[in-house]
Amino acid sequence: MNRRRLYTAVFSMGIQHSMEYRFHFFLGLLGAAFPILVQYFIWTAVYRHSGETALFSYSYHQIILYTILAGLVSKLIATQFEHQIVDDIKNGGLNKYLIKPVSYFGYRLVSFFGQKAIYYGITAVMLVGIIWIAAAGDVIELQAVRLVLFAVTLWGALLLNFLIAYCICASAFYLNEISYFFVITSLLVNILSGGMFPLEIFGDSVVQALQYTPFPYTIYFPVNVLSGKTEVGAMYQGLLIQCGWILLFFLLSRLTWRVSMKKYSAVGG
């Protein structure tokens, strides 16, 4: 079996895995709506009691739109494969990838995209409805260039978040108990990425500092490309920066795993 057929089969397995437990799949989709509803009521109360038409440079309708879009993007790019990689490291599951002509990195990446394919399709349908409602309410202005760049940056965000998580997983070679570490890093990355609320809530100095990190380019940047908060010139600049971070973390992931594999004992499997 050549590599193209091999990874096509892995991609197909990823799709099947995402649909294996259909109730869990749809429960996960409903779970994405819960934090969005919580934030909706919180922001509604905040704006009502503040008496201001805009907070943190967002109007009420803009902050609600950001909350919805960020919640969907956050759910879409979520990795959730960390514990599978830890099991492979601790229990010798990596063995078969060392003796067969299969790249573990390639396997995980293609499988990840396969698992996200159904989510991506459903999210796309939901986004069409949200964009249509927002455009009808004059919350955003529909522009073809923004729609195209949003789709591109969304795929970039998916890949960048995978690479960040894959690099973090290399710590499993050194730490005996890593479950809580994943919980903490996942929460921290989500906050710094703008997945819970706009980064402007931290203040301008923090926003400027975070621009030198990869995190805003996973959620905050794609969402603001679509919503219109990012200027046209800044969109292309941000896309180049996002590509730069993808390249850097790709190289970093290869380096960290190459170094960490020297500690792998290949026990079990």
The three state secondary structure string of 139-189 is CCCCCHHHHHHHHHHHHHHHHHHHHHHHHHHHHHHCCCCCHHHHHHHHHHH
CA distance 53 to 118: 38
Q: What is the tens place of the pLDDT at every residue in 12-33?
A: 877 777 666 556 666 666 767 7
Q: What pLDDT score does 160 carry?
A: 95
Q: What pLDDT score does 98 carry?
A: 74
Residue 162 confidence class, pLDDT cut points 50, 70, 90: very high
Q: Which residue has the higher pLDDT, 47 or 139?
A: 47
pLDDT at 209 over 80: yes
CA distance 184 to 171: 14
C-alpha separations of 235 from 23, 152, 231 in Å: 38, 11, 6
Place of tokens 């070679």: 173
Q: Which residue has the higher pLDDT, 128 or 92?
A: 128
Residue 150 confidence class, pLDDT cut points 50, 70, 90: very high
Q: Give me the sign of the Cα torsion angle 147, 151, 154, 160.
A: negative
Specify which residues 55 forms β-bridges with. 58
Q: What is the tens place of the pLDDT at every residue in 185-200?
A: 888 988 999 988 899 9
Residue % of the chain over a pLDDT of 70: 92
CB atoms within 10 A of CB 203: 11
Q: What pLDDT score does 260 carry?
A: 81
What mean pLDDT comes out for the span 206-230? 92
The amino acid sitting at 18 is: S
Q: Which residue has the higher pLDDT, 149 or 88?
A: 149
Q: What pLDDT score does 113 carry?
A: 87
Which of the listed ranges 96-110, 135-149, 195-209 does the model predict with the highest average pLDDT?
A: 195-209
Q: What pLDDT score does 236 carry?
A: 92
Half-sphere exposure of 120 (CA within 13 A, CB side): 14
Which of the listed ranges 53-57, 120-124, 166-170, 251-255 does the model predict with the highest average pLDDT?
A: 251-255
pLDDT at 163 over 90: yes
Give pTM, 2 decimals.
0.88
pLDDT at 248 over 70: yes
Place of tokens 């073809």: 144
Q: What pLDDT score does 197 carry?
A: 87
CB atoms within 10 A of CB 17: 12
Q: What is the mean pLDDT of the chain?
A: 85
